[in-house]
Amino acid sequence: MSESKAMILGCAGRSLTRDEVRFYRGEAPWGFIVFSRNLCEPEQIHDLVAAMRDCVGRPDAPVFIDQEGGRVQRLRPPLAPNYPSAAALGALYGDDKTAGLRAAWLLSRLHAADLGRYGITADCLPVLDVPVEGANDVIGNRAYGRTAAQVAALGRAAADGLMAGGLLPVMKHVPGHGRAQADTHLALPTVDTSLADLQRQDFAPFRELADLPIAMTAHVIYSAIDPKNPATTSGKVIEEIIRREIGFDGLLMSDDSSMKALSGDFSLRAAAILDAGCDLVLHCNGDMDEMRAIAARTRPLEGVSLERARRALASASLSDHTKEDDLRAEFADYLGALVA
């Protein structure tokens, strides 16, 4: 791992091109991420994941995915069932807290079963954002609820379910995306809420789950902390809020560096992300020119960032050996009508 660069990269299609193989071998990203465009059938997914790891010569190179349930779910039938959204878990929790927590754990445990069979080892879940009335719907029903306590409780159950199934959880989007008035895929939002209110609501779920191994930043400006830079490129937000206020000392990755919320060319984006204190730059779309620019300004993964990466990988181990059929049957008792 000491020879890896501090980046997580995607690829363009369902198999690696010669250019991608050469590029990954030469630049050695620490990890990879896959999307729906990359996934079509089991053998193909196995081959793609194996080829990614072969390029960097590390059988433990993590492969990430966004598999939440609801509208953000990269694996779809027949590769994995269509699962309910976090909001559905939140509704169940509102009626019966014990049932809601168990269902959240089970859903993540099933995600781990679905993903693990294809060699995917990290899921960008739980979503710990707390939406407010009038915010952009980019979070919406991806959230577990509208109170920090409910989001933290269900988020913990979801993270525990992933880890019980041997997958790495990635909490997002720290320090909180729930107030954003714009979709960060398309624009850069500014949140003008007071620091006291942010501490009370937005930061609280992340503080409760600060022991998780990996977190993903928000491309959001918090004017009460840093009126110029989004969290992803703000040394002030990362050091004062994420590291000290929230208390997260795990591996910090950026949200996708190709989102329009960030500005500047891609080499400058990579430098700004790392200089602000992120451990890893994430780039998702597989565009070769953009990846080359990212790699040009991405340094080796070393020092405290390397140690955090090692700790993260060491935290993933299968501890629950319940038969998958039994897990699915139990989950069906809670929310089976919402599974397609």
Q: How far apart are CA 234 and CA 226, in angstroms?
A: 7
Q: Report residue 286 as tokens.
A: 């597989």
pLDDT score recorded for residue 78: 96
pLDDT score recorded for residue 194: 97
One-letter amino acid for residue 95 of the chain: D
79 by Cβ neighbours in 10 Å (0-12 / 13-18 / 19+) ranks as: middle
Q: How far apart are CA 228 and CA 235, in angstroms?
A: 11
* Residue-wise burial string across 297-314, b where 16 or more C-beta atoms lie within 10 A, e elsewhere: bbeebeeebbebbeebbe
pLDDT score recorded for residue 2: 47
Contact status, residue 38 vs residue 51, Cβ threshold 8 Å: no
Taking residue 60's Cβ as centre, other Cβ atoms within 10 Å add up to 11
Q: Report residue 178 as tokens.
A: 């729930």
Length of the chain equals 340
pLDDT in tens, 221-248: 999 999 999 999 999 999 999 999 999 9
pLDDT score recorded for residue 1: 43
Taking residue 113's Cβ as centre, other Cβ atoms within 10 Å add up to 18
How far apart are the two ends of the chain, measured CA to CA in Å?
Answer: 40
Contact status, residue 20 vs residue 319, Cβ threshold 8 Å: no
pLDDT in tens, 64-93: 999 999 999 999 999 999 999 999 999 999
User: Quick one: how far is CA 209 from the chain centroid?
Assistant: 14
Coil, helix or strand at residue 133: coil
Given a cut of 50, the residues of the chain with pLDDT beneath it are 1-2
Tell me if the pTM is above 0.75.
yes
Residue in the structure block whose two tokens are 């980046």: 7
- Active site positions, annotated: 185, 255
pLDDT score recorded for residue 120: 98
Contact status, residue 127 vs residue 139, Cβ threshold 8 Å: yes
Coil, helix or strand at residue 324: helix
Q: Which domains does the chain have, with CATH numbers?
A: 5-338 (3.20.20.300)
